[in-house]
Structure 1
Amino acid sequence: MTGQLVALCCIGFAAVNVFFEVTAHFADGPYAEYASAIAVMNWLVTGLKVIGVAVALLSVAKRPRVLSPAHLGVLLWGAFALLGVYALGSVVQAVGMASGLAGSADQIDLAGVAYVLFFLLIAAGYGVLAISYSRRNRLRKGVAILGVLGAPVMLGVVLLAVPMLLLAALGLMPAS
């Protein structure tokens, strides 16, 4: 049941990115100058969310033949850690805003809190899947360690390297 719920959450969250692109949500307004770059990031993140759907469903499949158990285990632990680090970073940011260290408490709204809670929920779901899958398949601890250590690297690539290097090189980021 957890695998299907996590997959459903990923599908729903990917649909938000698709909605943004189909409706040209960022074509007007304060982010219009960044619309092309945001589109690239939206599709990249949508792809990652679709991969997340597959990983969640494969983890509960009776006989997944697409990946070895170790590879799937790394992906599960990586998804758990990536989402957990991202959510934890958002919580730290909110605490900084609430305390006045960075920004203002006025910037925290119900939508932002729901967003962070949603990520915490999905991270917890992947944690349950990773633990269960690792136990069922008797995976070594190194599989979990590799997944957890690889997650911050992936997060850095998605949130820092792609925007700074790829989008700037393609001329999709306006000159600041």
Structure 2
Amino acid sequence: MIIKKILKLGFPVLIKPNNQGSSIGITLVSHLKQLNNAINIAFDYDDNILIEKFIKGKEYTISILGEKALPSIHISTNNDFYDYNAKYISSSTKYLCPSGLNTTQEIELKKTAILAWNTLGCSGCGRIDFILDNENKFWLLEANTIPGMTNRSLVPISAKEMGISFDELVLLILNMKN
């Protein structure tokens, strides 16, 4: 039954644990023979897994601080997708802020991010991730309600573009009423 649904999606697909961060436990599956192993890896991290169509394109993120959308970031990696290695190990991953989107795209992305954030009932600080496919269409990937706060993390990069230092960002988050 699940195989039929995956075949209906078409390869490649991403298999990932539902409640894991930092792309841990995610496998990009291009062939049916890889499926069982990928499912087992995801189940090693969570009892609930997600199987989704892999959308090839450029990855963007919008950070949310309170009720405000911060500048978009374009994430550029040489990997197949923005995986754990691209996030924490690879020195070739680039974070472009400003992202290079035109004004119309930037406004559209911010509006969509705020709408998704509010629709999901999120508050505080987080991120909404997107893919811009080869047809120039944005796809909302996920909401990150507990974003990373390292030197390579995306919320601090976007906040810095707004003139908010890391220390100021931490204080703003701590002082938010949720």
Q: Same fold, TM exceeding 0.5?
A: no
Q: Higher relative CO (CA 8 A, sep ≥ 6), structure 1 or 2?
A: 1
TM-score of the superposed pair, with normalisation by structure 2: 0.24
TM-score of the superposed pair, with normalisation by structure 1: 0.24
Greater strand content: 2
Greater helix content: 1
